[in-house]
Amino acid sequence: MKVSNRRLETGNLMTRFLRLIYVMIGLTLLSTSAVADTPFPTIHEPSDESLKCIQPEDEMRRNHMNYILHERDETMHEGVRNEPGSLAACIDCHVEPNENGEIAGIDTDEHFCTSCHTYASVQIDCFQCHADRPQKFIDRNSSSEAHKGASIKQQLQETLAATASEGANQ
């Protein structure tokens, strides 16, 4: 009796172990097929072929945030402004109007930054302060009549004041 119980217990353990192995193999196969079907993000190349990025593409994919943070620190703490590595320079080259003349905003899939950041599940917070389209396409004169002739700083102050007063009225 004892020998057969031991064999039964050993058989149950082997069955459980094999089931676990099968489940793990199945999950591995599912995960690799999902990865194989995932499209890589599209990188919008500048239309002006004479423009070259400050670093090779594979280097920029891996380390662009380090460059941007370095530029931020130099600009904010030391007052150094270097155009080639600035976020504005990246946007000026890589964000261009589509065939209809429309420029994609950061909240659309067509924006240069969005495709990779969505693919990598990384939140973009640069554009809470920075423009998400090239400076040459930002029309600063056609905003509301209240802002006509005002500098960007004045417009920002007026907007913040209006927002603060709306919040106080609620």
Predicted TM-score of the model (pTM): 0.53
Convert the pLDDT of each residue in 67-110 to its tens digit: 887 777 787 777 777 666 778 888 888 888 888 888 888 888 88
Convert the pLDDT of each residue in 24-76 to its tens digit: 988 887 765 555 556 677 677 777 766 777 788 888 888 888 888 777 778 77
Q: HEC profile for 61-79?
A: HHHHHHHHHHHHHHHHHHC
Residue extents of the structural domains in the chain: 138-163
Tokens 């599940």, residue located: 121
- Give the whole-angstrom CA distance, residue 74 versus residue 154: 26
- Give the whole-angstrom CA distance, residue 112 versus residue 119: 12
Length of the chain: 170
- Nearest of 80, 59, 62, 61 to residue 70 by alpha carbon: 80
